[in-house]
Amino acid sequence: MEQTEIQEKIFAYMQQMKGKKKLKEKDIIKKIMEDTSQDKDTVKKALRAMIDVGKVMYSYGGGSSSVEIPSEEYLKEKGLI
Amino acid sequence: MGGKYKTPMLDELEKGPWPSFVTEIKKAAKRTQMADDELGQVEKSYVTKRGYWKHGGIVGVLGYGGGVIGRYSSLPDEFPGIAHFHTVRLNQPSGFFYTAEALRMIMDIWDKYGSGLTNMHGSTGDLVLLGTTTENLEPLFAEYSSRGWDLGGSGSAMRTPSCCVGQARCEWACIDTMNICNEVTQYYQDQLHRPSFPYKFKIKVAGCACDCVAAIARADLSIIGTWKDNIRIDQAEVKKYADAGMNIQAEIIDMCPTDCMSYDGKTMKINDVQCNRCMHCIAKMTKALKQGKVKGATLLVGSKAPIVVGSLLSWVVVPFIELKAPFDNLKDLADKMIEWWDDNAKPRERIGELIEVKGMRPFLEAIEMPPVPQQVREPRKDPFFFWSESDFN
Amino acid sequence: MSLPERQTDIGPPHYEKFLPPIVKKNYGKWAYHEVLTPGTMVHVAEGGDKLYTVRVGSPRILSTDTIREICDLAEKYCDGYLRFTTRNNVEFLLSDQKKVDPLLAELKAKKYSVGGIGPRISNIVHTQGWVHCHSACTDASGLVKAIMDELHDYFTTKALPNKVRLAVACCVNMCGAVHCSDIAVVAIHRKVPVIDDVNVGKMCEIPTTVASCPTSAIRPNPKTKSITINEEKCMYCGNCFTVCPPIEIHNPEQDGVAIVVGGKVGSLRTNPKFSKLAIPYIPNEPPRWPSTVAAIKNILDVYAANAKKHERVGEWIERVGWEDFFKLTGIPFTFQHIDDFTFMRDTMRNSAAFKY
C-alpha cells in the first residue's frame, strides 16, 4: 500500500473522530493497522510524515497529548497557508 | 515602554534583601509590552487572589509535540500583550554548565522573539523562556536549533532528563552523571519531542545517595550512584578531624544507621559487611573516608508527585549496575521498562501507579530482573499471593 | 530577512563545551572539598588543583538584563564559566583564588545574596504561580520572596543543625520535589468545584473526566451531558479541572496554603521521607503572606533550638515524636492531620507507648 493511501485513511479517521474523542498517536496507529493490515512502523512513518508538514499536529489538553487536525486560523498564524 | 500599570501590591515585593522577581519583570517591561502586560496581570492576581491563564491546544514547532507549552491570558482585552504568552523549553546542557558567550547568544535571540523573561531553570531542568507568540515559534526554533540548541520535552512524552553536577565537581559521584544524562537525552530524542507515551516519563541521575537532583522523589527512573566494596579510610585524616574539634563519637559513630563503625580515639574501624552505604560518614569526613572502588548505580522506579492517587518515592528494582559509556545496558533496561509501561498503562498513568495496579512481579519479569531482598524493606505480611505456572517447574 | 535552516532532534549541546579547563582536566579526579564561607567552597583535585565556587541566590525568574549582568561578572572573574544549581542558584567557577574576594566585593556592591552552602537554607525550589500557570491557587514567587526575606540570614550567615530544604508549590500538582522537603508550602483548595454543565458537555470527554477522580466522586450526568460530583467524597485535588477546565476549582476566598514538614531525598542516616502535614490551612495573604512566613519561621526556630547536629527536620521530629513536634511548635492538631486518603494504615499509632 502506498504511503499516500495510508495517509488518506489516517486523515479520514481523524476527521470522523473530530470532536468525539481526543486521539493519541497510539490510537490512530492501532486503528489504521487494523484497517489496512500494515505493520506498526509503516503506519507510524506515514503519520509522522503528515505531522512533519503540518497536515495534522500534536496538541495538548486535559493533561495529556493528542494528535489533531489544525484549524485554518492556526495554519495562517504559523504561515503554512 | 513600561510603567503602563500601577502595581502597589507587587511593589511591596521589591523590598527586602532577597532578589525580587518583580524587579526582574519590571526590567523586561521597560523593553517589551509582553512583560509590562504580564506585570499588570500579576498585579491584578494579587488583588483578586486568582490566576488568569489558560493553556493547551495545538501550539508548537512543526513536527514536534513537545518543548512548547501554549499559554494564553484569559483577559486578552485587558492585557493584549499577553494574549499569547507561550513557554518554550530549551534543553539545558547536562549539569547546567554554560559559558557567558553561549548564554548571551540565547538571550539575544530571546530578546528578539520573546518577553525577555526566563526561568533559570524549570523544575524538570529545562532552560525556560517565558512568553512568546505563536507566529514567533518557527523563527525562534530555527535560530536556536541552527546554533545547536534543541527543545526539551512536554506532554505525554519523555521529559528532559537531568542530573547533579557529578564528576565535574564532586568527589562523591560514583557514576558519570553528566555523560549518562547527555547520552539518554540523545538516545530518546524522538520520544522527547513527539509525545507517544501514556503520560510523562522522567529520568534523573544522581551521583550518590545524597541525591542533589532529588531523583528518588521525582523521576520515573531514578539512577543513583553507589559502590559495592569497602570504604577507604585515611586514619591520619581521621585524626585531623578529631584534632579540629569534631566529636567523632557523637557526630559519626552514633549517627551511623547500621552501627557498623567504631573509633577509639586513634583508629576508625568500619565493619563494611554491615554498611548500607548511606553516605553520612563520607559526607561529614570527606577528606578521611572515600567510597570503595567498585562503583555503579542503583536503579529505582516510580516516584511522582501526589496527583492522582498520592505521592510515591522510587522503589529499588536493580540494586547494582555498572555504568560505562555508552551505557547500552542502561538504555536496554530503560527501553524494557518503557515498553512494558507503554503496553499496559491507561492514559495519564505513571509507571509507579501501573506497578501498583499490576504488581511488581510482571514488571520485574518484563525487565528480566530476579526478585532480591534489596528491593523490599520487608516481605509481605498477608498470606495472599499469586502463583504462576512457572513457579511449579 | 532569511532565517537559518532549522535542525531537529539534535538534543542539547554537549556539556564539554561549557566546562572550565580546570574541570575538564580534573573530571572524575576530585579528592575533597571544603566549605570556606556560607557562599564559597573549594574543590581540591587529586593532583592539587583548586576550584573555587561562589554561590548566589536568584529569584529563578530572571530578565535577560540580569542574565547579561551575570555573564559580565563571569567573564570578569572566571573566564566566562558559570553554572546553575538544581535549586536555581548561580555558581561562579574560579580557578584563580585571587579573584574570589574581588568577585565577592562586586557581588556585595551589586546587592546579590551570597550563600546557601552548608548547614543552612538554600534557595527555595518553587513553581510558576500566578505569574504563568493556569492551575495556581497561590503565587509561588511572591511567597518565596517573602519567606527568603525573613530567613535571609539563614542563607547568608547563620548555621542550622543541618541543611534545610524549602519548597513552594502553587497547587497539588507539585512541579518540584515539594513532597520530600524539610519545610514546604503547598497551595490547596477547600471547596467542591463548580460545574459549568454547558461547557463540560462541549469541551470535555466525560469518561476521561470521571476516571480522573482519585476518590470516585465523579459520575456522568446523562441529562445534562455533563457530570455530577459527590460532595462527600471530593477532596478538592483539582485533577478534574486539569482534564476538564469548565469544572472550576478555584475559589479565591477559600483557597490557601498548607505547610508540610520533615521530608528529605538523601539516604544519609535515615531513609528518604515524604513531608507530612503540619498546618492544614493558612489563607492567601498577598502581597507578603505574613501568617505563612511567621509559621515557617516558627517551625525553623523550634527545629534549630531542639535538633541535634546533623539531624534534618524529619529526623529530629521522628526522634522526639510528632506529639512533641506539635507541643513544641504550638501548632494545633486537627482532623485534617489524620490520613483518610491512601496512607492511613501506615500512619495511625498502634502502640501503647507515646508521650504527652
Which residue segments constitute the domains of chain A, with CATH numbers given?
Answer: 3-77 (1.10.10.10)
Average pLDDT, integer, range B272-282: 98
The CATH 3.30.413.10 domain(s) of chain B lie at: 162-228+296-392
CA distance C244 to chain A (A): 6
Can you give the pLDDT at residue B367?
98
Query: Domains (ranges, CATH) in chain C?
Result: 15-109 (3.30.70.3340), 125-190+252-347 (3.30.413.10), 194-248 (3.30.70.20)
Distance between CA A18 and CA A41 in Å, rounded?
24
Which chain C residues in 78-117 lie under 8 Å from chain B, judged by CB atoms? 80-86, 88, 90, 93, 111-113
Q: What percent of chain B has pLDDT over 70?
A: 100
Average pLDDT, integer, range B28-57: 96
For residue B147, list chain C residues with Cβ-Cβ distance below 8 A.
Answer: 4
Which residues in A have their CB inside 8 Å of a CB on C?
21-22, 62-63
Please tell me the class of the B8-146 domain: alpha beta
Residue-wise pLDDT for C162-175, tens only, equals: 999 999 999 999 88
Can you give the pLDDT at residue C177?
67
For residue B155, list chain A residues with Cβ-Cβ distance below 8 A.
Answer: 58, 60, 64-65
For residue B57, list chain A residues with Cβ-Cβ distance below 8 A.
Answer: 59-61
Which residue of chain C comes nearest to A61, CA vs CA?
C243
The CATH 3.30.70.2500 domain(s) of chain B lie at: 8-146
Averaged confidence pLDDT in chain B = 97
Task: Classify domain B232-290 by CATH number.
Answer: 3.30.70.20
Residue-wise pLDDT for B340-387, tens only, equals: 999 999 999 999 999 999 999 999 999 999 999 999 999 999 999 999
Which of the four pLDDT bands, split at 50, 70 and 90, describes residue B1? low
Picking from A21, A22, A63, the nearest residue to C242 by CB comes out as: A63
Which residue of chain A comes nearest to C203, CA vs CA?
A19
Which chain C residues in 220-259 lie under 8 Å from chain B, judged by CB atoms? 237, 239, 242-243, 245, 250, 252-253, 255
Residue-wise pLDDT for A17-71, tens only, equals: 998 899 999 999 999 999 999 999 999 999 999 999 999 999 998 889 999 999 9
Decide if pLDDT at B127 tops 80.
Answer: yes
DSSP letter at A55? S
Residue-wise pLDDT for B239-267, tens only, equals: 999 999 999 999 999 999 999 999 999 99
Residue-wise pLDDT for B158-202, tens only, equals: 999 999 999 999 999 999 999 999 999 999 999 999 999 999 999
ipTM over 0.95: yes
User: Within chain C, which residues score under 50 in pLDDT?
Assistant: none
In this structure, whether the domain defined by B162-228+296-392 belongs to CATH 3.40.50.300 is answered with: no
For residue C65, list chain B residues with Cβ-Cβ distance below 8 A.
Answer: 27-28, 116
HEC letters along chain B: CCCCCCCHHHHHHHCCCCCCHHHHHHHHHCCCHHHHHHHHHHHHHHHHCCCCEEECECCCCCCCCCCEECEEECCCCCCHHHCCCCEEEECCCHHHEEEHHHHHHHHHHHHHHEEEEEEECCCCCCEEEEEECHHHHHHHHHHHHHCCCCECCCCCCECCCEECCHHHCCCCCCCCHHHHHHHHHHHCHHHHHCCCCCCCECEEEECCCCCCCCHHHHCCEEEEEEECCCCEECHHHHHHHHHCCCCHHHHHHCCCCCCCEEECCCCEEECCCCCCCCCHHHHHCCCCEECCCCEEEEEEECCECCCCCCCECCEEEEEEECCCCCCHHHHHHHHHHHHHHHHHCCCCCCHHHHHHHHCHHHHHHHCCCCCCHHHCCCCCCCCCCCCCHHHHC
Which amino acid is residue A44, in one-letter code?
K
Decide if pLDDT at B72 tops 80.
Answer: yes
CB contact under 8 A, B60 and A64: no
Radius of gyration of chain B, Cα coordinates, nearest whole angstrom: 25
